[in-house]
Amino acid sequence: MVQDVIHKQIVRNCEKVGAWFRERRTAVDIPVYSSYDIRDSGFKVVNVDANIYPAGFNNICRTDYDNTGTIMRAYLERHYGGAARKVLVLTEEHTNNPYYWDNVRALRSILKDAGVDVRVAIPRGQAGGSMTMKSASGEDVRAEVASIHEGRISVDGFVPDLVISNNDFSDFYNEWGPTIVSPMNPPRELGWYRRKKSTYFRHYNELSSQFARLLDVDPFLLTVETELFQGFDIGEDGSRDRLAQRIQLMIDRLKGEYAQRGIQEEPVIFVKNNSGTYGLAVIRVESAEEFLALNAKTRKKMKAAKGGRDVEEVILQEGVPSVTKADGGVTAEPAIYMIGCHLAGGFLRTHAEKGPTESLNSPGAVYKRLCVSDLKISVEGHPLENVYGWVAKLGVLAIGFEAQEMNVEFKGYTRWPEGMDPKFACG
């Protein structure tokens, strides 16, 4: 299996790998948290989605969860010094999903364990109002309404030193514009109203290729082929024809790549909204003909994303099958959570009705707790924690370079100073 090869090469090149990572890590700003969907096909291990505003902290296993407060405290102290003592968690605005509010509870607890004073707020609503949301575990979560005065965000007199956003800003929110002076991490400007998957995956694949060359392995093992298609209109014949041609070209190219390496899998392509999340506006196709034959219901799925925004750009991405299985042989994929660039835990996303080449991020998905420690014993002598962890760390770097390319400022954030002790160069 490819993870054995990658693990051994990481161990053999440990010092070079560490130096390479530190050099890039200290050149960019890293978000307070992020999550990565990992696909392990047996012939490659890659990140197929990166979330800068992740929900799902309630799915992290207890063993890992007990360490998250310490990791969070280290991140806040290293990048904000003693300035981040009062923190506001900014939530999604329109959700009654009780599991989302369990996520908010978990995130609030992590921050409390990090030693900070925490409040929870939604981004807009009746000034001075509040609401009590019921979580899936039956606990109440009080969410107040954030107000803005002279560029500072506050809730009921509580003025935070730092706003940690759990709102992905798919909506622009005019009132949350550049006049906001309150430090926010991740910054609003990395929200889906601006962010592009194509930019992220360009950086991810470039970094993964560098990493592979450092390990002296084929970059194919750590990269996922991804292309941008602009001017997308699922309702327009010319747009569909052009996209179908691009799909077939990618499939034919992948067939050649697979044949060259003795891979028996037939390539599949995912067409994904270039600016979106929640698994919306995503379809899987095996040929240009299949794409052109999509029925009206499937076409409708590709017209709009979260918040009703039109889908105007898509990416074509290599569909990486998953050999990961949960109990009962159900297809699964690991989601790895990071605080800064430390592994904070994760879970297995499973789906009893989906096969290894299908998207598991769809209705019917079930989340199984996955401890980082579980990964260590999955393959004797070759810990998956090392491989999956490094794939996630490549994702963290890619987000840093993505933000840099977008000229996004992390207000109040301090990068690592020159000469920092290398053992502390992750956080």
- The average confidence (pLDDT) of the chain is 88
Q: Which pLDDT tens digit goes with each residue over 99-147?
A: 999 999 999 999 999 999 999 999 876 555 788 899 999 999 999 999 8
Which of 74, 20, 15, 26 lies closest to 344, judged by CA?
74
Q: What is the mean pLDDT of residues 193-200?
A: 95
Q: Which pLDDT tens digit goes with each residue over 299-344?
A: 877 776 555 567 889 999 999 999 888 878 888 889 999 999 999 9
| pLDDT higher than threshold 60 for residue 212 | yes
Please give the Cα distance from 145 to 219 (Å, whole number): 47
| pLDDT higher than threshold 50 for residue 419 | no
| pLDDT higher than threshold 50 for residue 10 | yes
Query: What confidence category does residue 424 fall into, taking pLDDT thresholds of 50, 70 and 90?
Result: very low
Q: What is the mean pLDDT of residues 32-54?
A: 95
Q: Would you list the domain boundaries of the chain?
A: 2-55+196-405, 61-193
> 278-285 long-range contacts, Cβ below 8 Å, gap at least 24?
278/306, 278/361, 279/359, 279/361, 279/362, 280/305, 280/306, 281/305, 281/311, 281/314, 282/359, 282/361, 284/319, 284/357, 284/358, 284/359, 285/247
Please give the Cα distance from 260 to 366 (Å, whole number): 36
According to CATH, what is the number of the domain 61-193?
3.40.50.11280
Q: Which pLDDT tens digit goes with each residue over 376-388?
A: 544 445 467 789 9
> What pLDDT was estimated at residue 136?
92
